[in-house]
Copies of this chain bind each other. A is one copy, B any other.
Amino acid sequence: MSATIQPVILCGGAGTRLWPESRGTRAKQFLPLHGGESLFRQTVRRTPAGAQFTPPLVVCGDAHVAAVLDQMEGRDVSLLVEPMPRNTAAAIALAVARADAGMLLLVMPSDHVIADVPAFHAAIARGAILAQQDWLVTFGIAPDRPDTGFGYIASGDPLEGGFAVDRFVEKPPLDAAERMLAAGGYSWNAGIFLFRAGRMRDAMLEHCRDIFEAAERAVAAGMHDGEAFYADAPAFEHAPSDSIDYAVMEKDDRVAVVPVAMGWSDLGSWHTVHALAEGKDGDDNALSGDVFVHDSRGNLIRAGGKRVSIIGMEDVAVIVDGDDILVMPLTRCQDVRAAAKARE
């Protein structure tokens, strides 16, 4: 079975875990953090408009409209502007409210890395069959470590091309993550979803009616301005702020997971940026810009237009952006927010 799919790219995040490069209007998804091209552009290129996919719908804040248009470089795009951030459930509700009921929507974050795009496309094909059978489909990443930074999905009964979801597990403590990894049958929730628009509309009206109705009113009272459609602020601000996982997925009883191994990463820390960096030198240093390295190993150095010289350093990040210089061991990346909060 084949159907045209509408990519919906959620572009509202800020990404303070990659401060100082990621901040304000220059959010993580617009930066060339991996492979020399921004994560947003990689996301757009992953589902090229043509036989299978329509041009993308990008949901973003007003502050990011210029960056989105700049990075689309004239290719077709629909821009849907959120008047204020209200988390993923409301953002998806805006897209659903503007879509035909029969359309398949593929919702994706704008700031992930997927190394194996053919594997992603194959998973989408499997998911599309389930979505047309009115499953709300999520894609599950096989865990290779007991990561405590992701939600987990427990697979239930097998379906053709996937599994019914038994339950969602919030970001677990380490011992629980280790048990799930050992037990098998769990995957990471990558925040990528595929569903029929009308099916999600019905699910939202059942599970989070306040959110959907606020979004629907915001669309009805919205207006085009230039190349973007602006949802109505007074209507939208009444939408409760909730994630799509909490608001819908965990409550619905017809949710499927399609497991996929596709070299996925949320590139959620400088540690991960180092781990996935291409073109490291022989001493495992990932270097960008004008960097002088003497007797140093395992570092991530991003010179940001300045000149960085390191001597005798191991396993640290030096991130330069404008006048900001961040220095920390790569193992301390979870603490970046402390600096970002103090500095912004």
Partner-B contacts on A (CB < 8 A): 20, 292, 294-295, 303, 305-313, 316, 318, 320, 323-329, 331-332, 335-336, 338-339, 342-343
> Which residues of chain B have C-beta atoms less than 8 A from A326's C-beta?
308-311
Are B325 and A308 neighbours in the complex by a CB distance under 8 Å?
yes
Are B318 and A339 neighbours in the complex by a CB distance under 8 Å?
no
Question: Given the complex of chains A and B, what is the CA–CA distance between A338 and B326 in angstroms?
Answer: 23
Chain B nearest CB, measured from A282 CB (Å): 18
A interface secondary structure, majority:
strand
> Which residues of chain B have C-beta atoms less than 8 A from A318's C-beta?
325, 327
> Which residues of chain B have C-beta atoms less than 8 A from A336's C-beta?
311
Are B311 and A335 neighbours in the complex by a CB distance under 8 Å?
yes
Q: Would A306 and B332 be within 8 Å (CB), given that A292-B339, A292-B342, A339-B294 are in contact? A: no
Chain B nearest CB, measured from A45 CB (Å): 34
Are B294 and A307 neighbours in the complex by a CB distance under 8 Å?
no
Are B325 and A311 neighbours in the complex by a CB distance under 8 Å?
no
- Residue among A327, A335, A339 with the highest chain B CB neighbour number at 10 A: A327
> Which residues of chain B have C-beta atoms less than 8 A from A332's C-beta?
295, 311-312
Return the 9 tightest CB-CB contacts between A and B, nearest first: A311-B328, A312-B332, A309-B339, A306-B323, A308-B325, A311-B335, A294-B338, A309-B326, A310-B327
6 example contacts (A-B, Cβ-Cβ < 8 A) are as follows A20-B309, A306-B323, A309-B339, A311-B332, A312-B328, A312-B331
> Which residues of chain B have C-beta atoms less than 8 A from A343's C-beta?
292, 307, 309
Chain B nearest CB, measured from A283 CB (Å): 15
Given contacts A305-B323, A306-B325, could you give 19 more A-B pairs where the C-beta distance is less than 8 Å? A20-B309, A292-B339, A292-B343, A294-B338, A295-B332, A303-B325, A306-B323, A309-B342, A309-B343, A310-B326, A311-B326, A311-B332, A311-B335, A311-B338, A311-B339, A312-B329, A313-B327, A313-B328, A327-B327
Question: Given the complex of chains A and B, what is the CA–CA distance between A295 and B332 in angstroms?
Answer: 10
> Which residues of chain B have C-beta atoms less than 8 A from A338's C-beta?
294, 311
Are A328 and B307 neighbours in the complex by a CB distance under 8 Å?
no
Nearest-CB residue, chain B, relative to A305: B323
Chain B nearest CB, measured from A297 CB (Å): 13
Question: Given the complex of chains A and B, what is the CA–CA distance between A338 and B311 in angstroms?
Answer: 9
Question: Given the complex of chains A and B, what is the CA–CA distance between A312 and B313 in angstroms?
Answer: 14
> Which residues of chain B have C-beta atoms less than 8 A from A313's C-beta?
316, 327-329
Are B324 and A306 neighbours in the complex by a CB distance under 8 Å?
yes
Are A309 and B335 neighbours in the complex by a CB distance under 8 Å?
no
> Which residues of chain B have C-beta atoms less than 8 A from A295's C-beta?
332, 335
